[in-house]
Amino acid sequence: MSTGTILIVAGSFLASAVEMVEALTIVLGVGVVRGWRSTLIGAGAAGLVLAVLVAALGPALGSIPISTLRLVVGALLLVFGLQWLRKAILRSSGYKALHDEDEAFRRERAEAEAAGSERRAGLDWYSFTVAFKGVLLEGLEVVFIVITFGSAQGHLTIAVVGAAVALVVVVVAGVLARGPLERVPENTIKFAVGLLLTSFGCFWGAEGAGATWPGDELSLLGLIAFLGGFSWLLVRALRRRRLALTPARASA
Protein backbone atom coordinates (compact mmCIF):
# COMPACT_ATOMS: atom_id res chain seq x y z
CA MET A 1 0.00 0.00 0.00
CA SER A 2 1.48 3.38 -1.04
CA THR A 3 1.88 6.46 1.19
CA GLY A 4 -0.91 8.21 -0.71
CA THR A 5 -3.34 5.31 -0.27
CA ILE A 6 -2.68 5.03 3.48
CA LEU A 7 -3.20 8.78 3.89
CA ILE A 8 -6.44 8.61 1.86
CA VAL A 9 -7.86 5.89 4.14
CA ALA A 10 -6.78 7.88 7.22
CA GLY A 11 -8.22 11.12 5.81
CA SER A 12 -11.56 9.57 4.83
CA PHE A 13 -11.84 7.79 8.18
CA LEU A 14 -11.02 10.86 10.31
CA ALA A 15 -13.14 13.32 8.30
CA SER A 16 -16.08 10.92 8.31
CA ALA A 17 -15.71 10.11 12.02
CA VAL A 18 -15.73 13.76 13.05
CA GLU A 19 -18.76 14.61 10.89
CA MET A 20 -20.61 11.44 12.00
CA VAL A 21 -20.08 12.42 15.65
CA GLU A 22 -21.81 15.75 14.93
CA ALA A 23 -24.64 14.04 13.01
CA LEU A 24 -25.03 11.48 15.83
CA THR A 25 -25.48 14.30 18.37
CA ILE A 26 -28.35 15.75 16.31
CA VAL A 27 -30.03 12.35 15.82
CA LEU A 28 -29.66 11.48 19.52
CA GLY A 29 -30.95 14.88 20.67
CA VAL A 30 -34.11 14.53 18.59
CA GLY A 31 -34.60 10.76 19.05
CA VAL A 32 -34.34 10.80 22.85
CA VAL A 33 -36.99 13.52 23.18
CA ARG A 34 -39.43 12.75 20.36
CA GLY A 35 -39.02 9.03 19.69
CA TRP A 36 -36.89 7.00 17.34
CA ARG A 37 -39.10 5.93 14.42
CA SER A 38 -39.36 9.24 12.51
CA THR A 39 -35.83 10.27 13.56
CA LEU A 40 -34.23 7.08 12.23
CA ILE A 41 -36.30 7.20 9.02
CA GLY A 42 -35.06 10.79 8.49
CA ALA A 43 -31.44 9.80 9.15
CA GLY A 44 -31.76 6.72 6.93
CA ALA A 45 -33.29 8.74 4.06
CA ALA A 46 -30.39 11.21 4.22
CA GLY A 47 -27.91 8.31 4.26
CA LEU A 48 -29.57 6.92 1.13
CA VAL A 49 -29.30 10.29 -0.67
CA LEU A 50 -25.60 10.49 0.26
CA ALA A 51 -24.94 6.92 -0.95
CA VAL A 52 -26.66 7.68 -4.28
CA LEU A 53 -24.48 10.82 -4.65
CA VAL A 54 -21.27 8.81 -4.15
CA ALA A 55 -22.48 6.03 -6.50
CA ALA A 56 -23.42 8.53 -9.22
CA LEU A 57 -20.60 11.08 -8.98
CA GLY A 58 -17.68 8.72 -8.22
CA PRO A 59 -17.71 6.71 -11.48
CA ALA A 60 -18.65 9.84 -13.50
CA LEU A 61 -15.47 11.59 -12.31
CA GLY A 62 -13.46 8.51 -13.32
CA SER A 63 -14.09 9.32 -16.99
CA ILE A 64 -12.31 12.73 -16.74
CA PRO A 65 -8.59 12.75 -17.75
CA ILE A 66 -6.46 12.35 -14.61
CA SER A 67 -4.45 15.61 -14.98
CA THR A 68 -7.63 17.72 -15.41
CA LEU A 69 -9.28 15.85 -12.54
CA ARG A 70 -6.29 16.42 -10.24
CA LEU A 71 -6.18 20.14 -11.10
CA VAL A 72 -9.89 20.64 -10.36
CA VAL A 73 -9.94 18.33 -7.32
CA GLY A 74 -6.68 19.86 -6.02
CA ALA A 75 -8.08 23.39 -6.30
CA LEU A 76 -11.37 22.42 -4.61
CA LEU A 77 -9.62 20.47 -1.84
CA LEU A 78 -7.18 23.30 -1.24
CA VAL A 79 -9.91 25.93 -0.85
CA PHE A 80 -12.12 23.57 1.19
CA GLY A 81 -9.21 22.27 3.31
CA LEU A 82 -7.99 25.79 4.07
CA GLN A 83 -11.42 26.52 5.61
CA TRP A 84 -10.96 23.57 7.98
CA LEU A 85 -7.35 24.52 8.73
CA ARG A 86 -8.09 28.21 9.41
CA LYS A 87 -10.97 27.31 11.74
CA ALA A 88 -8.77 24.76 13.54
CA ILE A 89 -6.01 27.37 14.00
CA LEU A 90 -8.53 29.90 15.35
CA ARG A 91 -9.99 27.27 17.75
CA SER A 92 -6.58 26.17 19.02
CA SER A 93 -5.46 29.74 19.63
CA GLY A 94 -8.64 30.62 21.54
CA TYR A 95 -10.13 32.99 18.95
CA LYS A 96 -13.00 30.63 18.14
CA ALA A 97 -15.05 28.56 20.58
CA LEU A 98 -14.22 24.83 20.70
CA HIS A 99 -16.96 22.55 19.44
CA ASP A 100 -18.73 21.05 22.46
CA GLU A 101 -20.89 17.97 21.71
CA ASP A 102 -22.45 17.97 25.18
CA GLU A 103 -23.61 21.57 24.74
CA ALA A 104 -24.86 20.81 21.19
CA PHE A 105 -26.80 17.80 22.57
CA ARG A 106 -28.45 19.93 25.29
CA ARG A 107 -29.40 22.60 22.72
CA GLU A 108 -30.80 19.97 20.34
CA ARG A 109 -32.89 18.42 23.14
CA ALA A 110 -34.26 21.81 24.25
CA GLU A 111 -35.28 22.69 20.68
CA ALA A 112 -36.90 19.25 20.20
CA GLU A 113 -38.91 19.71 23.42
CA ALA A 114 -40.07 23.20 22.44
CA ALA A 115 -41.07 22.31 18.87
CA GLY A 116 -44.77 21.75 18.08
CA SER A 117 -46.13 18.44 16.82
CA GLU A 118 -47.11 18.09 13.18
CA ARG A 119 -47.70 14.76 11.45
CA ARG A 120 -47.13 14.21 7.73
CA ALA A 121 -47.08 10.87 5.91
CA GLY A 122 -47.48 9.16 9.28
CA LEU A 123 -44.25 10.70 10.59
CA ASP A 124 -43.40 13.20 13.30
CA TRP A 125 -42.36 15.86 10.77
CA TYR A 126 -40.01 17.74 13.13
CA SER A 127 -38.00 14.60 13.97
CA PHE A 128 -37.86 13.51 10.34
CA THR A 129 -36.74 16.87 8.89
CA VAL A 130 -34.19 17.70 11.63
CA ALA A 131 -32.58 14.24 11.42
CA PHE A 132 -32.67 14.32 7.60
CA LYS A 133 -31.13 17.81 7.35
CA GLY A 134 -28.55 17.12 10.06
CA VAL A 135 -27.27 13.88 8.53
CA LEU A 136 -27.43 15.29 4.98
CA LEU A 137 -25.49 18.47 5.75
CA GLU A 138 -22.82 16.76 7.87
CA GLY A 139 -22.67 13.93 5.34
CA LEU A 140 -22.20 16.24 2.34
CA GLU A 141 -18.75 17.15 3.63
CA VAL A 142 -17.94 13.44 3.93
CA VAL A 143 -19.20 12.80 0.37
CA PHE A 144 -17.12 15.71 -0.94
CA ILE A 145 -13.97 14.42 0.77
CA VAL A 146 -14.53 10.77 -0.17
CA ILE A 147 -15.25 11.55 -3.83
CA THR A 148 -12.35 13.98 -4.26
CA PHE A 149 -9.86 11.80 -2.35
CA GLY A 150 -10.96 8.60 -4.07
CA SER A 151 -11.25 9.87 -7.64
CA ALA A 152 -7.99 11.86 -7.76
CA GLN A 153 -6.01 8.86 -6.49
CA GLY A 154 -8.07 6.34 -8.48
CA HIS A 155 -9.08 4.47 -5.31
CA LEU A 156 -12.70 5.45 -4.68
CA THR A 157 -13.48 2.08 -3.04
CA ILE A 158 -10.69 2.54 -0.47
CA ALA A 159 -11.94 6.03 0.41
CA VAL A 160 -15.52 4.69 0.74
CA VAL A 161 -14.28 1.85 3.00
CA GLY A 162 -12.49 4.40 5.26
CA ALA A 163 -15.74 6.39 5.59
CA ALA A 164 -17.88 3.26 6.11
CA VAL A 165 -15.62 2.00 8.92
CA ALA A 166 -15.91 5.43 10.58
CA LEU A 167 -19.72 5.25 10.34
CA VAL A 168 -19.81 1.82 12.00
CA VAL A 169 -17.35 2.85 14.75
CA VAL A 170 -19.27 6.06 15.58
CA VAL A 171 -22.73 4.40 15.54
CA VAL A 172 -21.52 1.49 17.74
CA ALA A 173 -19.81 3.94 20.13
CA GLY A 174 -23.00 6.05 20.25
CA VAL A 175 -25.19 3.02 21.01
CA LEU A 176 -22.78 1.85 23.74
CA ALA A 177 -22.43 5.33 25.27
CA ARG A 178 -26.20 6.06 24.96
CA GLY A 179 -25.31 9.73 24.59
CA PRO A 180 -23.22 12.24 22.62
CA LEU A 181 -19.56 11.30 22.14
CA GLU A 182 -18.19 14.35 23.95
CA ARG A 183 -14.91 12.61 24.78
CA VAL A 184 -13.90 12.29 21.12
CA PRO A 185 -11.03 14.80 20.58
CA GLU A 186 -13.05 16.48 17.85
CA ASN A 187 -11.03 19.66 17.58
CA THR A 188 -7.72 17.78 17.28
CA ILE A 189 -9.21 15.50 14.61
CA LYS A 190 -10.50 18.54 12.70
CA PHE A 191 -6.97 20.01 12.80
CA ALA A 192 -5.56 16.74 11.36
CA VAL A 193 -8.25 16.59 8.66
CA GLY A 194 -7.61 20.24 7.71
CA LEU A 195 -3.91 19.44 7.34
CA LEU A 196 -4.60 16.33 5.23
CA LEU A 197 -7.09 18.10 2.94
CA THR A 198 -4.75 21.07 2.41
CA SER A 199 -1.71 18.83 1.80
CA PHE A 200 -3.55 16.64 -0.74
CA GLY A 201 -4.94 19.81 -2.35
CA CYS A 202 -1.39 21.18 -2.76
CA PHE A 203 -0.11 17.85 -4.06
CA TRP A 204 -2.80 17.18 -6.66
CA GLY A 205 -3.28 20.85 -7.59
CA ALA A 206 0.43 21.27 -8.45
CA GLU A 207 0.53 17.91 -10.30
CA GLY A 208 -2.59 18.82 -12.28
CA ALA A 209 -1.02 22.19 -13.18
CA GLY A 210 2.02 20.40 -14.62
CA ALA A 211 4.55 20.37 -11.72
CA THR A 212 6.21 17.19 -10.43
CA TRP A 213 6.98 16.62 -6.77
CA PRO A 214 10.44 15.51 -5.62
CA GLY A 215 10.04 12.01 -4.17
CA ASP A 216 6.56 11.69 -5.71
CA GLU A 217 3.97 10.56 -3.10
CA LEU A 218 6.55 10.65 -0.29
CA SER A 219 6.52 14.45 -0.59
CA LEU A 220 2.99 14.29 0.92
CA LEU A 221 4.62 13.48 4.27
CA GLY A 222 6.95 16.47 3.85
CA LEU A 223 3.97 18.69 2.99
CA ILE A 224 2.04 17.56 6.07
CA ALA A 225 5.09 18.17 8.29
CA PHE A 226 5.74 21.61 6.74
CA LEU A 227 2.12 22.81 6.97
CA GLY A 228 1.75 21.24 10.43
CA GLY A 229 4.84 23.09 11.67
CA PHE A 230 3.61 26.35 10.18
CA SER A 231 0.16 25.93 11.75
CA TRP A 232 1.74 25.21 15.14
CA LEU A 233 3.86 28.37 14.92
CA LEU A 234 0.81 30.40 13.86
CA VAL A 235 -1.25 29.05 16.79
CA ARG A 236 1.57 30.03 19.20
CA ALA A 237 1.85 33.53 17.72
CA LEU A 238 -1.94 34.05 17.88
CA ARG A 239 -2.11 32.81 21.48
CA ARG A 240 0.64 35.26 22.47
CA ARG A 241 -1.18 38.07 20.67
CA ARG A 242 -4.49 37.22 22.39
CA LEU A 243 -2.89 37.06 25.84
CA ALA A 244 -1.07 40.35 25.26
CA LEU A 245 -4.35 42.02 24.30
CA THR A 246 -6.44 40.62 27.17
CA PRO A 247 -5.05 42.81 30.04
CA ALA A 248 -5.07 45.85 27.76
CA ARG A 249 -8.77 45.28 27.03
CA ALA A 250 -9.59 44.60 30.68
CA SER A 251 -8.00 47.84 31.87
CA ALA A 252 -9.62 49.90 29.05
State the minimum distance, in angstroms, from the CB of residue 76 to another protein. 6
Q: How far apart are CA 12 and CA 17, in angstroms?
A: 8
Toward another protein, which CB reaches closer, 168 or 237? 237
State the minimum distance, in angstroms, from the CB of residue 65 to another protein. 15
Site mask, another protein, residues 96-135, x = CB under 8 A? ----------------------------------------
* CA separation, residue 68 to residues 4, 48, 49, 73, 76 (Å): 19, 30, 27, 8, 12
Toward another protein, which CB reaches closer, 86 or 109? 86
Task: Determine, following the binding rule CB under 8 A, whether residue 223 of this chain makes contact with another protein.
Answer: yes
* CA separation, residue 174 to residues 17, 53, 69, 137 (Å): 12, 25, 37, 19
Residue from 19, 101, 205, 220 that binds another protein (CB under 8 A)? 205
Q: How far apart are CA 133 and CA 7, in angstroms?
A: 30
Which stretches of the chain bind another protein, using CB under 8 A? 71, 74-76, 78-80, 82-83, 85-86, 89-90, 93, 95, 140-141, 144, 198, 202, 205-206, 209-214, 219, 223, 226-227, 230-231, 234, 238, 241-242, 245
